[in-house]
């Protein structure tokens, strides 16, 4: 069983209170790790360490020196690739190929890409006229924002944590990460990487624990934290925003979604079925960008539902390293209860269950895991709970539509605005619809294909702000203007 500590000022430390909590495997509910729960004392110590690093060696590095260290971090993650894959598989139970192809390499890339961004992005300069005719020159300099609190979810823990830590450090800040209580492994491993590479102590810190009345709340309320970047549920974002308002701290929020998939009758049928299947069921549906509402143009509706059903019924449940398996469990028993409660609600609200709706029969110890069947519904009104609320499980509701205007209205009829995936061979229509859907990111004939240099974030209740490439500099730095009278 792993013993996970907090990582403060370059040292792995227990909690002064002696408090620990257990992490259970999603696969079979065994306890697989014991984690030191940070209290106010550890959060205070982390803030102090982060502040002194900011004013110490780290703060004195040139951009080039920082960039070299971050390349070193990326290379060390790649050298220890298998350790990260194993750690993330243990926490999430998701298949090895998802870790090796997407989640871990993208985590390493987050350090390289943002190192390159800070090296190459200029600041602005304006010449201005003055009454004496001699003029003045304005130029901006970017400075780090300070100590950044990074509060993370469990669904793609390493990718989503490094997506914040990479740019924050590239910009010269120091960070205190609060990983999800459900997935603390890779944040801790990253501490080992930071020490191995020689990142100064206190630059990267980790405090483990829960949200309310625990490390999450202590961190986000702490007056020594200058800004907070958060990925998680919209409701949690509301609580963190209240905390951040004390002291007027800046926030960057990546929140929930209830994303629409739109399939026109002229789409490449097989590609659309594959694409919607991935977007609804990858990572067992635990992807913020996932599709829980699917709208299919009426002429191909029945055929599409049947094809998606066959694919969903073909998934093979199993352990991450089982080469015959391609499908993992949900993160926890608690999350499974939530997802299953939506499965019941769908039936109560009159859904036709096309497939799934329950729990698969699993052999031996796996019977204790957090497994659920991929589930497809039809026949519900747009007011039904499973059509309106984010479930964050492997499920979707499919509804037919008859016109472009109708499907745009349906897609936009939600409090969320994170992503959409559109499937059609009529590219003019694809662009037209993409421009009208109220989301931060739209895919045309693809899904979850994203260059890290692009703007990423949500509209409406799916987030505040944009990160990615140069957009991350807006959050992780402050621009100071200097005006020189000539």
Nearest-approach distance from CB 31 to ligand 6OD, in angstroms: 26
Stretch of 21-29, 260-268, 286-294, 374-382 contacting ligand 6OD, by CB under 6 A: 286-294
Would you count residue 76 as binding ligand NAD (CB under 6 A)?
A: no
Q: Among ligand 6OD, ligand NAD, none, what does residue 392 contact (CB within 5–8 Å per kind)?
A: ligand NAD
Stretch of 94-102, 168-176, 225-233, 312-320 contacting ligand NAD, by CB under 6 A: 225-233
State which of positions 371-410 bind ligand NAD (CB under 6 A).
Answer: 390, 392
Nearest-approach distance from CB 255 to ligand NAD, in angstroms: 5
Would you count residue 392 as binding ligand 6OD (CB under 6 A)?
A: no
Nearer to ligand NAD, 5 or 231 (CB): 231
Would you count residue 456 as binding ligand 6OD (CB under 6 A)?
A: yes
Nearer to ligand NAD, 129 or 449 (CB): 449
Nearest-approach distance from CB 127 to ligand NAD, in angstroms: 40
Query: How deeply is 61 buried, as exposed, middle or buried, from its count of CB atoms within 10 A (0-12, 13-18, 19+)?
Result: middle
Q: Among ligand 6OD, ligand NAD, none, what does residue 329 contact (CB within 5–8 Å per kind)?
A: none
Would you count residue 453 as binding ligand 6OD (CB under 6 A)?
A: no
Nearest-approach distance from CB 216 to ligand 6OD, in angstroms: 19
Among 70, 109, 117, 156, binds ligand 6OD (CB under 6 A): 156
Stretch of 79-87, 96-104, 207-215, 366-374 contacting ligand NAD, by CB under 6 A: 207-215
Stretch of 79-87, 284-292, 296-304, 378-386 contacting ligand 6OD, by CB under 6 A: 284-292
Q: Among ligand 6OD, ligand NAD, none, what does residue 151 contact (CB within 5–8 Å per kind)?
A: ligand NAD
Nearest-approach distance from CB 418 to ligand NAD, in angstroms: 6
Residues in the interface with ligand 6OD (CB under 6 A) total: 8
Smallest CA-to-CA distance from 286 within 3, 26, 10 is with 26
Would you count residue 437 as binding ligand 6OD (CB under 6 A)?
A: no
Q: Among ligand NAD, ligand 6OD, none, what does residue 450 contact (CB within 5–8 Å per kind)?
A: ligand 6OD
Would you count residue 441 as binding ligand 6OD (CB under 6 A)?
A: no
Nearest-approach distance from CB 449 to ligand 6OD, in angstroms: 9
State which of positions 228-257 bind ligand NAD (CB under 6 A).
Answer: 231-233, 236, 239-240, 254-257
Q: Among ligand NAD, ligand 6OD, none, what does residue 240 contact (CB within 5–8 Å per kind)?
A: ligand NAD
Would you count residue 181 as binding ligand NAD (CB under 6 A)?
A: yes
Nearest-approach distance from CB 469 to ligand 6OD, in angstroms: 11
Would you count residue 458 as binding ligand NAD (CB under 6 A)?
A: yes
HEC states along the chain?
CEEECEEECCEEECCCCCCEEEEECCCCCCEEEEEECCCHHHHHHHHHHHHHHHHCHHHHCCHHHHHHHHHHHHHHHHHCHHHHHHHHHHHHCCCHHHHHHHHHHHHHHHHHHHHHHHHHCCCCEEEECCCCCCCEEEEEEEEECCEEEEECCCCCHHHHHHHHHHHHHHCCCEEEEECCCCCCHHHHHHHHHHHHHCCCCCCEEECCCCCCCCHHHHHHHCCCCCEEEEECCHHHHHHHHHHHHCCCCEEEEECCCCEEEEECCCCCHHHHHHHHHHHHHHHHHCCCCCEEEEEEEHHHHHHHHHHHHHHHHCCCECCCCCCCCCECCCCCHHHHHHHHHHHHHHHHCCCEEEECCCCCCCCHHHHHCCCCCCEEEECCCCCCHHHHCCCCCCEEEEEEECCHHHHHHHHHCCCEECEEEEECCCHHHHHHHHHHCCCCEEEECCCCCCCCCCCECCEECCEECCECCCHHHHHHEEEEEEEEEC
Would you count residue 157 as binding ligand NAD (CB under 6 A)?
A: no
Task: Measure the CA–CA gap between 132 and 214, rounded to whole angstroms.
Answer: 60
* 284-to-25, 263, 287, 316, 335 alpha-carbon distances in Å: 15, 21, 8, 12, 12
Among 113, 187, 288, 331, binds ligand 6OD (CB under 6 A): 288
Task: Measure the CA–CA gap between 2 and 415, rounded to whole angstroms.
Answer: 40
What's the sign of the alpha-carbon dihedral 179, 182, 186, 191? positive
The two structure tokens encoding residue 467: 């990160």
- 464 close to 252: Cβ distance less than 8 angstroms: yes
Nearer to ligand 6OD, 384 or 396 (CB): 396
Please identify the residue of the shown chain whose CB is closest to the bound ligand NAD: 211
Give contact residues for ligand NAD (rule: CB under 6 A): 151-155, 160, 178, 180-181, 210-212, 216-217, 220, 231-233, 236, 239-240, 254-257, 288, 390, 392, 418, 458, 462-463
- Which residues of the shown chain bind ligand 6OD in the complex (CB under 6 A)? 155-156, 163, 287-289, 450, 456
């Amino acid at each position: 069983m792993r013993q996970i500590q907090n990582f403060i000022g370059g040292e792995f430390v227990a909690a002064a209170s002696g408090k620990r909590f257990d992490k259970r495997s999603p696969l079979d509910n065994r306890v697989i790790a014991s984690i030191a729960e940070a209290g106010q004392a550890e959060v205070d110590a982390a803030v102090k360490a982060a502040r002194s690093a900011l004013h110490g060696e780290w703060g004195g590095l040139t951009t080039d020196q920082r960039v070299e260290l971050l390349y070193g971090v990326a290379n060390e993650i790649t050298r220890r690739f298998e350790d990260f894959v194993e750690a993330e598989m243990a926490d999430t139970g998701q298949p090895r190929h998802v870790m090796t192809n997407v989640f871990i390499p993208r985590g390493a890339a987050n350090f390289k890409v943002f190192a390159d961004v800070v090296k190459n992005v200029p600041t602005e300069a304006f010449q201005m006229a003055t009454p004496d005719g001699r003029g003045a020159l304005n130029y901006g300099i970017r400075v780090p924002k300070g100590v950044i609190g990074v509060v993370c979810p469990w669904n793609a823990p390493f990718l989503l944590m490094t997506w914040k830590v990479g740019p924050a450090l590239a910009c010269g800040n120091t960070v205190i990460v609060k990983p999800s209580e459900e997935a603390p492994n890779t944040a801790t491993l990253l501490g080992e990487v930071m020490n191995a590479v020689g990142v100064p102590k206190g630059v990267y810190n980790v405090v483990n624990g829960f949200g309310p009345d625990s490390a999450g709340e202590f961190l986000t309320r702490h007056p020594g934290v200058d800004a907070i970047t958060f990925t998680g549920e919209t409701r949690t974002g509301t609580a963190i925003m209240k905390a951040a308002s004390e002291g007027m701290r800046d926030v960057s929020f990546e929140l929930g979604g209830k994303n629409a998939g739109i399939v026109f009758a002229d789409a490449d049928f097989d590609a659309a079925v594959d694409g919607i299947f991935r977007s609804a069921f990858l990572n067992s549906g635990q992807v913020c960008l996932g599709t829980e509402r699917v709208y299919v143009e009426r002429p191909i509706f029945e055929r599409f539902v049947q094809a998606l059903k066959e694919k969903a019924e073909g998934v093979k449940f199993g352990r991450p390293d089982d080469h015959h398996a391609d499908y993992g469990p949900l993160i926890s028993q608690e999350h499974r209860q939530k997802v299953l409660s939506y499965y019941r609600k769908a039936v109560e609200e009159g859904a036709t269950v096309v497939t799934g709706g329950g729990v698969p029969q699993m052999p031996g110890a796996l019977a204790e895991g957090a497994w659920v069947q991929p589930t497809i519904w039809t026949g519900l009104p747009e007011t039904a709970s499973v059509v309106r609320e984010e479930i964050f499980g492997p499920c979707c509701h499919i509804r037919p539509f008859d016109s472009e205007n109708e499907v745009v209205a349906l897609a936009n009829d939600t409090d969320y605005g994170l992503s959409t995936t559109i499937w059609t061979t009529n590219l003019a229509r694809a662009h037209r619809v993409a421009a009208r859907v109220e989301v931060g990111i739209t895919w045309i004939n693809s899904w979850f294909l994203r260059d890290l240099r692009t703007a990423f974030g949500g509209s409406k209740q799916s987030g505040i702000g944009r990160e990615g490439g140069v957009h991350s500099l807006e959050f992780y730095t402050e621009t100071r203007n200097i005006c020189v009278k000539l």
